[in-house]
Amino acid sequence: MPTTPATATHSSSNGTAEAIMLELVDENGTTIGTAEKLAAHQAPGQLHRAFSVFLFDEKGRLLLQRRALGKYHSPGVWSNTCCGHPYPGEAPFAAAARRTYEELGISPSLLAEAGTVRYNHPDPASGLVEQEFNHLFVGMAQERPKPDPEEVGETAFVTAAELTEQHAEAPFSAWFMTVLDAARPAIRELTGPSAGW
């Protein structure tokens, strides 16, 4: 993992895992404190900062990932290219680029801010709750994904029509449609009208 001032404080020198801390925010997205990751997702959930990335290829197809079966939250379901949480003090843009590389082994050739969305999505399977102030990013993927198998089960590039069909047949994350719909204006600007987003 690249070391930045934010990530340096989250790396252990003796190889033991440290608690992952999230940035708690108010309804305006202003930082108000921190909480341990799992605790922030326990019902009813604590509002925290997050990000969602949507990467497209040159044909206007969206890169989806199926979350690894070993993940504690929403395992085995399909979702957007990458999502996660900035470390406290880490810029959402930097976190989005970092996690895209960590999970998928790719660096976006373009990554642009696409607004924010606030939501509250319980996950019926785990009982965990996503209370998130989510920073959205859209961009281009010009490399083949090289997923980390601990994070990602599989990947697929899909057209808008294929996504509609797949969404009807396969399980998707509880937050997927909320973040996709919020990012659609920026996605249309990036991919053009012919892509159908």
pLDDT at residue number 33: 98
Q: For residue 23, what is the enclosing H or E element?
A: strand 21-25
Whether the pLDDT of residue 12 is over 80: the answer is no
**Which residues contact residue 140 at a Cβ distance below 8 angstroms, ignoring those fewer than 6 apart?**
55, 56, 57, 58, 108, 109, 110, 190
pLDDT at residue number 126: 82
Which comes out higher in pLDDT, residue 3 or 57?
57
Whether the pLDDT of residue 138 is over 80: the answer is yes
Query: Of the candidates 119, 32, 128, 113, which has an alpha carbon nearest to the alpha carbon of residue 77?
Result: 128
Whether the pLDDT of residue 6 is over 80: the answer is no
What average pLDDT does this structure show over 10-33? 79
Identified catalytic residue from 23, 83, 103, 130: 83
pLDDT at residue number 180: 98
Q: Are 77 and 66 in contact (CB under 8 A)?
A: yes
Compute CA 95 distance to the chain's CA centroid, rounded to the nearest angstrom: 10
Q: Active site includes 82?
A: no
- pLDDT band for 127, please (50, 70, 90 cuts): confident
pLDDT at residue number 72: 79
What average pLDDT does this structure show over 45-73? 95
Highest mean pLDDT among 4-18, 20-34, 69-83, 116-130: 20-34
Whether the pLDDT of residue 142 is over 50: the answer is yes
Identified catalytic residue from 23, 103, 130, 132: 132
pLDDT at residue number 17: 61
pLDDT tens digits, 84-102: 999 999 999 999 999 999 9
